[in-house]
Amino acid sequence: MMKSMKLCVRLFARARDIAGRDVIDVDVGEPITVSNLRRRLAAQYPALAALLERSALAIDKEFAEDDRIVSDGAEVALLPPVSGGSI
Amino acid sequence: MIHLTDRAIDYDALSEQVRRPDCGAIVLFLGTVRDLTSDRVTIALDYEAYPGMAEKKMREIEEETRKRWPVGDMVMVHRLGNLDVGDVSVAVAVSTPHRAQAFEACRHAIDRLKELVPIWKKENWADGSSEWIHPEKSGLQ
């Protein structure tokens, strides 16, 4: 039987405005890498794809590298670029 | 010490908070809401943080700064919510034995904060439109 695993991704700023809510679900089946999660997110929410490309992903409140495995129950957040400000 | 607040930052209190006998220098940086970006007029800003992670990154920046400079004390505060032009949005106060260290440590802390801390701002323009600011080049990428 296909395992079921659903990740909740928190959204902020323009990403939340685009999606119209502050959390979205992604069906992933089993633990996957951050880069695969990015692909799933872009496929499931095409409106977010362009911003997602420029965004960081955080797992359990830490920036996550692309090869990191996202396990069931992890707190995932999509972090659009911060304003930074001109020096 | 770091914190996020929805209320006005009491910036006078911050330099007092870091003033101590073994430090001969205090540098206080205040970031304030500017009225113009290029030729566009700002009416107000909204700041939003990723709660928990924003504080975590700020604590890491404090630790990192303390490792590199002989910091006596330091405070970093960021305001969230709706701010008017001229309001203080962010403040960093650092005390060190000598002034060069205080300038360098304070500069480092505010630059890292702007680069790494998940806090976003929304410009509310004079023409009634608003937009989240997500520059092409950003530290979070």
The CATH code of the domain that includes A73 is 3.10.20.30
Q: Do B141 and A83 touch (CB under 8 A)?
A: no
Q: Where are the domains of chain B?
A: 2-127
Distance of CA A15 to the CA centre of its chain: 10
Q: Which of residues 23-62 of A touch B (CB under 8 A)?
A: 51, 54-56, 58, 61-62
* The pLDDT of residue A82: 93
Residue A39 is given by DSSP the state H
Chain B contact for A79 (CB, 8 A cutoff): yes
Residue type, B129: S
CB pairs below 8 Å between A and B: how many?
A: 77
Q: Which of B71, B15, B45 is nearest to B130 (CA)?
A: B45
Q: Which of A63, A82, A86 to mutate to test the interface with B (most CBs of B within 10 A)?
A: A82
d(CA B131, CA B45): 10
d(CA B30, CA B14): 10
Q: Do B141 and A54 touch (CB under 8 A)?
A: yes
Collect all residues of chain A within an 8 Å Cβ-Cβ radius of residue B115.
82, 84
Q: pLDDT of A17-60, one tens digit each? A: 999 999 999 988 888 999 999 999 999 999 999 999 999 999 99
Phi, psi dihedrals of residue A13, rounded to the nearest 5°: 50, -130
- Long-range contact pairs involving A2-8 (C-beta distance under 8 Å, separation at least 24): A2/A29, A3/A29, A3/A30, A4/A29, A5/A29, A5/A30, A5/A31, A5/A72, A7/A37, A7/A70, A7/A72, A7/A74, A7/A76, A8/A75, A8/A76
> Which parts of A12-58 fold into alpha helices (H)?
13-19, 34-44, 49-53
pTM, 2 dp: 0.93
Collect all residues of chain A within an 8 Å Cβ-Cβ radius of residue B141.
54-56, 81
d(CA A19, CA A12): 10
Q: Do A84 and B132 touch (CB under 8 A)?
A: no
- CATH superfamily, region B2-127: Molybdopterin biosynthesis MoaE subunit (3.90.1170.40)
Q: How many structural domains are present in chain A?
A: 1
* Domain of A68, in residue numbers: 6-79
* ipTM score for this prediction: 0.92
User: What is each CA distance from A40 to A5, A35, A74, B13, B120, in whole angstroms?
Assistant: 13, 9, 16, 48, 25
Give the pLDDT of chain B (141 residues) as one tens digit per residue: 999 999 999 999 999 999 999 999 999 999 999 999 888 999 999 999 999 999 999 999 999 999 999 999 999 999 999 999 999 999 999 999 999 999 999 999 999 999 999 999 999 999 999 999 998 866 665
A84 within domain boundaries: no
Residue of A13, A63, A87 lying closest to B132 (CB–CB): A13
A38 within domain boundaries: yes
Are residues B103 and B27 in contact, defined by beta-carbon separation less than 8 angstroms? yes
Residue of B56, B136, B139 lying closest to A82 (CB–CB): B139
A86 within domain boundaries: no
